[in-house]
Amino acid sequence: MQTLFFDFDGTLVDSETFHAENWSAYLATYGVTLTADDFITYYAGVTWPKIAKHFIEHYQLNVDIVTITTEMEALTEAKIRDQGIPALPGVDAILNAFAGKVPMAVVTGAPRDYVEGVLKQHGWFDLFEHVFSGYEVTNNKPAPDVYLHACQIMKVAPHQTVAVEDSRTGLQAAKNANICCLLINPHPSLIGIDADHKFTSMVAATPLLDSLFKAKLVLSAV
């Protein structure tokens, strides 16, 4: 394996709970009840325009997609400034251990500005060679476009890469691109999902990542 791709939300940072609580509070202003747990179960990894479209149509909300996504982005930015988004356990250690030894990129379905801002907050931005956003290709995840674009720019074949994801949407995007995928998510709804490898945390996945990239780690130490 030559290159390591990381999803962002729910993979590097504990943002699924963060976003779930924000969406739940926002939709309540329109009289829609959505628990944070239901958001994580059904909408984790789904792009915000698709989420907005679903609730507008399902609840016949008198608002458009652009308004919802714009207001949610403003709400999110304010919350990030006030409290930040915590890193998930084991992420900081693996990123710093692999940085400069294994080419790494963030391959996300989220907007670039948001992702880069949080990466900088954690001091991770310079550890990655690129940040690839699904908003900048024709079709976002679960389509393979953003992963195939990442492979092209980083000059690596899909079968030489590993993707680390946390959602059904992200897993499907990686599989559609013929990329080996590690699914890291403790949520019960994903127990039976078909992934190349499944773990409940980055800490648990670290030994496998070490073994997959052993050759590069050894060469970098010589």
Express each pLDDT in 142-192 by its tens digit.
999 999 999 999 999 999 999 999 999 999 999 999 999 999 988 777 767
8 Å CB contact between 67 and 46: no
Q: Of residues 108 and 111, which shows the higher confidence score?
A: 108
Instruction: Write down all domains in the chain, each with its CATH number in brackets.
Output: 3-14+86-219 (3.40.50.1000), 15-83 (1.10.150)
Give the containing element (helix H, strand E) for 72: helix 65-83
Q: Are 107 and 132 in contact (CB under 8 A)?
A: yes
Q: Which tokens is 176 given?
A: 């559609």
What is the pTM (predicted TM-score) of this model? 0.86
